[in-house]
Amino acid sequence: MTELSAYVLERIREGPDFTLYRGRQHGNPSRVLAVALAAEHPSAQGLRRLEHEYSLAAELDSAWAAKPLALTRHEGRTILILMDAGGEPLDLVLQRGQLLDLTCVLRIAIGLATALRQIHRRGLVHKEYAKTRTKKAHLGHDGCRCSGSPAAGA
- Comma-separated ranges of CATH 3.30.200.20 domains in the chain: 2-83
2 pLDDT tier (thresholds 50, 70, 90): low
The mean of the pLDDT values for the chain is: 77
Q: Phi and psi at residue 11, in whole multiples of 5°?
A: -70, 130
Superfamily of domain 2-83, CATH level 4: Phosphorylase Kinase; domain 1 (3.30.200.20)
Q: Pick from 38-47, 50-59, 74-83, 133-142 the range whose average pLDDT is largest.
A: 50-59
Three-class SS state of 81: strand
Residue 134, pLDDT score: 53
Instruction: Dump pLDDT digits (tens) for 87-146.
Output: 878 778 888 887 888 888 888 888 888 888 888 888 877 665 544 455 544 333 444 444
Residue 81, pLDDT score: 93
* pTM, full prediction: 0.75
Is pLDDT above 50 for 80? yes
Cα 60 to Cα 65: distance, rounded to the nearest angstrom = 6
